[in-house]
Amino acid sequence: MLIATWNINGVKARIDALVAWLETAAPDIACLQEIKSVDEGFPRQAIEDLGYHVETHGQKGFNGVALVSKDKPAEVLRGLPGDDSDEQARYMEGLWSINRRRLRVASIYLPNGNPLGSEKFPYKLAWMDRLIAHAERRLLTEDELVLAGDYNVIPMPIDAAHPKDWVDDALFQPESRGAWRRLVNLGLTDALRATTDAAKTYTFWDYQAGAWQKNNGIRIDHMLISPEVQDRLVSVGIEKHVRGWEKPSDHVPVMIELAA
């Protein structure tokens, strides 16, 4: 079984790349972030023509997440619990029953938090607190759990080509990284770091200053998995080649393979 995450950075602009990737990678479940589309405007037909089911939690021009899956989920949760006043479309979770297993997969677009000193950084940290609380509740069920997405957190210096460039950025602040550790310490596993400690392992390259050509990247797209999923983990891959396609997103897909 293949589960993937990809910040598509505008689904309408990347629909051809998304379809091409779905055809070749063939994930069973794909979590998309930053779709930048309202639900009714999402270009679902091209995806459904491949045999996929589409669930969206959209927002006009900003944010937005989606779940694309070969099988329709039994349940869908739109929005991260804990703050009814939060209107930003950043979290969606699906429940599947596969081979008598209950599998929950979430597509997460965690707030960026920049600029520091604005209201955006406290919002990021409060959102992370809500995610930690929600994940803790989900882990108590002992369902298989995958929390996948663009976390906008650089966990460790090894996850950036030039860590010193990020010391004044919300993605690398001690508070952001501390919240990340509290989330992981609930009993989750960073799937990629469970399989490799290699440096120069990135998922995002800025469009500016030749970052892609220089491999000046960062790792901010993560798949956190529960112990029940880790027991089935076969491999983790970063689809780095997609960044070299025409009109690419600045992120690339990350995908885990699970044993049957």
Residue 217 burial (10 A CB sphere; 0-12, 13-18, 19+): buried
**Minimal CA–CA distance to 228: which of 147, 145, 133, 148?**
145
CA 73, chain centre distance (Å): 18
> What is the CA angle 143-95-135, rounded to 5?
55
User: Is 93 labeled as ligand-binding?
Assistant: no
Q: Is 162 annotated as a binding residue?
A: no
Q: CA–CA separation, 113 vs 117, rounded Å? A: 9
Residues with catalytic function? 109, 150, 251
Radius of gyration of the chain (CA): 17
Q: How many residues belong to the chain?
A: 260
Per the annotation, does 241 bind a ligand?
Answer: no
Element (DSSP H or E) covering residue 29: strand 29-33
Per DSSP, the residues of 83-115 read -TT-----EEEEEEEETTEEEEEEEEE----PS
- Whole-angstrom distance, CA of residue 207 vs CA of residue 143: 39
87 annotated ligand-binding residue: no
Is 165 annotated to bind a ligand? Reply is: no
Judge whether 9 is annotated as a binding position: no
Contact status, residue 220 vs residue 245, Cβ threshold 8 Å? no
Residues making up the binding site: 7, 34, 150, 152, 250-251
Residues making up the binding site for Mg(2+): 7, 34, 150, 152, 250-251
